[in-house]
Amino acid sequence: MRFSWCLLLVLLSACTHAPDPPADPGLAAEIQRIRAIDNHAHPVRPVLDGPPDREFDALPVDNMEPASDPLNLRPNAPVVLEAMKHFPNKSALMREKGNAYPAWVLDQIGVDVMLANRVAMGGGIQPPRFRWVPYADALIFPLDNSKLVARQPDRKAFFALEDALRMRYFGDAGLKTRPAALSDYLARVVTPTLERHRQGGAVAEKFEAAYLRSLQFDKVDRTVAERVYRANEPSDADYKLLQDFLFRYIAAECGRLGMAVHLHAEAGAGSYFDVGGANPLLLESVLNDPELRKARFVMIHGGWPFTREITALLTKPNAYLDFSSQDLLLPPATLAQTIREWLEWVPEKVMFGTDAYPYSDQLGWEESGWIAARTGREALAIALTGMLNDGEITRDRALELARLVLRENARRLYGL
Ligand SMILES: [Zn+2]
């Protein structure tokens, strides 16, 4: 009697410790066949001779102080070694394919259209396979940034890059320095820059603001912003008010011009990154601003580690997210839990993305894109299998959700 009780307990505990069901093979095969729209990535222009492409990011993260790298970004990480096998002889392939090389990379990772978060397009990175997402951060820091630079070592390089990009925007606007009044700055620099981006095919504007300050963009009166703009050396607190005003002005303009607003929303690279300042809940007052309901905010990278907080924001009509970068940094089973929670809440706002990025020679945008595309699809398959097994959805609905996440949600959002 006693023995059989023991046996029963052993069997029960074995049951409770059974591994999660793997992805349904039929579902996984269907997901593999869907040609995706990648909501966020940094494709690199193939350059055979001459200086390498540096326009894949406004703030390249290769010149920061040392940090403890996450496992998947370390040299010789198993996923990286596996990805490398799929792209042997990259330079020979680039030479052979020329400007057709970037689209060839998309074919290898099952991506139909990639949103290219770049300072400029060109060199085979062009529509219809690539859609442009330029940068708007430089426009919200129009004053002397030397005090902000002194606050944090990694920001020294960041603000130098933003200052250079703003000078480029001034040049494009036919100006050498910033206009004396805020109204002129808005009319002659900010709005024309956004309109030029839109005319150049941009589908969204990107903010990497979380690398430069917190995501708390408060509502600020224009008269207050005017005063700070004219001040010689405003305090940090006053300068923030001007940045906040400019952010909301740009978001409203993006809404008017039919562009989405992309925000880096995730713990970022570098040992000085302000993780708390990237909490997506800090965006709540922006999402709740009645004047910004026509803008569409896409929280890039899905808010990690605040993935549950971001779920609650999905009910706001102007809030969207993708799981780019999480599918590079996390294993499929871990990411699957997050995706499942999102799909059980507002599935029409959830998008696939890779954050393909040239981290190193070993881990280029090709390999990081390959890892993220594979992990993202596996995680999606595991999440849907769990919902299917628990009787939450039918097989048809599972396939429909897969198509929404991998393709249709982005197609609808950007009108592709
Ligand atoms: Zn990115």
What would the mean pLDDT of 204-218 be, rounded to a whole number? Answer: 97
CA of 263 to the centre of ligand 1 (A): 10
Ligand 1 mean position to 42 CA, how many Å?
6
Residue 310 has which token pair?
A: 């971001």
pLDDT, greater one: 361 or 260: 260
pLDDT for 21: 57
- Average pLDDT of the residues in 123-148: 96
CA of 283 to the centre of ligand 1 (A): 19
End-to-end Cα spacing for the chain: 68
The alpha carbon of 225 and the centre of ligand 1 are apart by a number of angstroms equal to 30
pLDDT value, residue 153: 84
Average pLDDT over residues 87-111: 96
Q: Distance, CA 372 to ligand 1 centroid (Å)? A: 12
Distance 79 CA to ligand 1 centre (A): 19
Does residue 340 register a pLDDT over 50? yes
Residue 19 has pLDDT above 90, yes or no: no
Residue 236 burial class via C-beta count within 10 angstroms: exposed 0-12, middle 13-18, buried 19 and up: exposed
In tens, the pLDDT along 274-307 reads 999 999 999 999 999 999 999 999 999 999 999 9
Residue 61 has pLDDT above 50, yes or no: yes
Q: Is the pLDDT of residue 15 over 60?
A: no
User: For residue 42, is pLDDT > 80?
Assistant: yes
Structure confidence at residue 13 (pLDDT): 47
249 alpha carbon to ligand 1 midpoint, in Å? 23
Asked whether residue 40 carries a pLDDT value surpassing 90, the answer given is yes
**CA 355 – ligand 1 centroid, Å:** 5
Q: What is the pLDDT of residue 75?
A: 84
Q: Encode the chain in three state secondary structure.
A: CHHHHHHHHHHHHHHHCCCCCCCCHHHHHHHHHCCEEEEEECCCCCCCCCCCCCCCCCCCCCCCCCCCCCHHHCCCCHHHHHHHHCCCCHHHHHHHHHHHHHHHHHHHCCEEEEEEECCCCECCECCCCEEEECECHHHHCCCCCHHHHHCCHHHHHHHHHHHHHHHHHHHHCCCCCCCCCHHHHHHHHHHHHHHHHHHCCECEEEECHHHCCCCCCCCCCHHHHHHHHHCCCCCHHHHHHHHHHHHHHHHHHHHHHCCEEEEECCCCCCCCCCCHHHCHHHHHHHHCCHHHCCCCEEEEHHHCCCHHHHHHHCCCCCEEEECCCHHHHCCHHHHHHHHHHHHCCCHHHEECCCCCCCCCCCCCHHHHHHHHHHHHHHHHHHHHHHHHHCCCCCHHHHHHHHHHHHHHHHHHHHCC
- Average the pLDDT over 15-23 and give the result: 63
CA of 40 to the centre of ligand 1 (A): 6
User: With 90 as the cut, is the pLDDT of residue 329 above it?
Assistant: yes
**Residue that wins the pLDDT comparison between 64 and 190:** 190
Q: How far is the CA of 18 from the centre of ligand 1 (A)?
A: 37
How far does residue 58's CA lie from ligand 1's centre (Å)? Answer: 10
198 Cα: distance to centroid of ligand 1 (angstroms): 20
CB 139 within 8 A of CB 185: no
CA of 351 to the centre of ligand 1 (A): 14
At 3 the pLDDT is 43
Tell me the mean pLDDT in the region 91-117: 97
Q: Is the pLDDT of residue 167 over 80?
A: yes
Of all residues in the chain, what percent carry a pLDDT higher than 90? 85
User: Percent of the chain beyond pLDDT 70?
Assistant: 95
Mean pLDDT of the chain: 93
Task: Say what the pLDDT of residue 5 is.
Answer: 46
Q: Check: CB of residue 170 under 8 Å from CB of residue 189.
A: yes
233 CA distance to ligand 1 centroid (A)?
32
**Distance from residue 328's CA to the centre of ligand 1 (Å):** 11
Of the pLDDT bands very low, low, confident and very high (cuts 50, 70, 90), residue 48 is: confident
139-157, pLDDT tens digit by residue?
A: 999 999 999 988 888 888 8
In the reported structure, the alpha carbon of residue 301 is separated from the centroid of ligand 1 by a whole-number distance in angstroms of: 8
